[in-house]
Structure 1
């Protein structure tokens, strides 16, 4: 068990509080229902899931359509991406995340998440995080240039909570970008590496590492500083 003293608990979203894979698969199924045999139906879902498991990211739809003998025309891809991002996702918090959120109810809390605003907003609503967390920040509102590792969202949390920097802890999964700004600002940091995560989560260099690494939020005990 890792013990931390803090006043503010700030969380990442994807692969931290729920499994990003679940959102992707929910989106694939939603596309099959909406576009049907125009994209290959269930064969499209199967191809997308296979490519996701194999590590594909940005070109999954193109590959899945081509595999099913369908031309991945730019107009069709644009339709699929728009509907994927706007669909009401069938996702749920990881069990340990639900327990953790109950345990930190007495803290000031926040969320910092990257990604398209529409998709992230749909995830937050589906998971009930708009009600469970105090300060919800989607960097997509400002534009991609403010995605992590940009410090803007972290500095906003500091302003909103009026807490000493060393009394803020950030919990996230991606060692390549998530911990650069909080480390520079003097926050505490915890990396969660769920076995079912999509990304490997490895930091690019020592300066990107979190203070602690866990595989479940049940391993973390946060006390009021």
Structure 2
């Protein structure tokens, strides 16, 4: 499939979580970091034993961990920040040098991601992607979350007259605004471990991307 995209006259913009890497891998990395921290500070626990208590696919892992260790809500909050600020062990879906080479074919590039600024920048550093983008627009820093339009407006004003392309995964929020604004939207199909699982059939046409891809390497096949 080709969309005949002229990269030299287009701005390519990516989501981050579950688009450039697996967010589930980040979650597992954070859980390991929290268990290791507890084992380091409280010798009666081992990281291996703590991990064995947890189901990393469930959302209540921190509650379960705190109950087991007898930690109160304030201590739980400290562990949550340790999770958010740990240095993640994650890998990009596409090797960073390959993604960088692809991005350089375009007139400009950006990242539009929801999340906490420090957390998202730590992810980018771990992925080797910190220097890949002309603009990194994180919701916390921009005081705007998808599908709010502010960050998409910013890109359009910075690069008027270009073809704007947004690549994401979350059909609930990623494509609504760029679709409304005339962007070309591309959806990365979800893997089995995606944090946010949505059935595309449950959403109207306004939420659907122009096309779906199975892998980021397919982007080059959409170029003319």
Relative to the length of structure 2, the TM-score reads 0.84
Q: Distance in 1 between matches of 2:71 and 2:209?
A: 40
Aligned residue number for residue 64 of structure 2: 63
C-alpha displacement at 1:4, in angstroms?
4.3
SS for the counterpart of 1:131 is coil
Q: Which digits, 9 at most, give the CA deviation of each residue in 1:143-162, with x for residues without a partner? A: 3xx11111111111112223
Q: Distance in 2 between matches of 1:97 and 1:199?
A: 24
Aligned residue number for residue 158 of structure 1: 156
- Cα RMSD of the aligned pairs, angstroms, is 2.3
Gap regions ≥5 residues in structure 1: none
Q: Distance in 1 between matches of 2:51 and 2:181?
A: 42
SS for the counterpart of 2:223 is strand
Choose which of 170, 174, 185 in structure 2 pairs with 1:174: 170
* Higher deviation after alignment, 173-182 or 38-47: 38-47
Aligned residue number for residue 41 of structure 1: 47
Instruction: Write out the 4+ residue segments of structure 1 that deviate beyond 6 Å after TM superposition.
Output: none
Q: Distance in 2 between matches of 1:72 and 1:184?
A: 47
Change (3 A) 1:47 1:157: farther
C-alpha displacement at 1:90, in angstroms?
1.4
Relative to the length of structure 1, the TM-score reads 0.84
8 Å CA contact 1:96–1:218 kept in 2: the answer is no
Change (3 A) 1:183 1:124: same
Q: Distance in 2 between matches of 1:179 and 1:160?
A: 20
Q: Distance in 2 between matches of 1:205 and 1:33?
A: 41
1:140 aligns with 2:140: yes
8 Å CA contact 2:184–2:210 kept in 1: the answer is yes
C-alpha displacement at 1:218, in angstroms?
2.0
Choose which of 35, 48, 52 in structure 2 pairs with 1:32: 35
How many residues end up aligned between the 2 structures?
A: 213
Gap regions ≥5 residues in structure 2: none
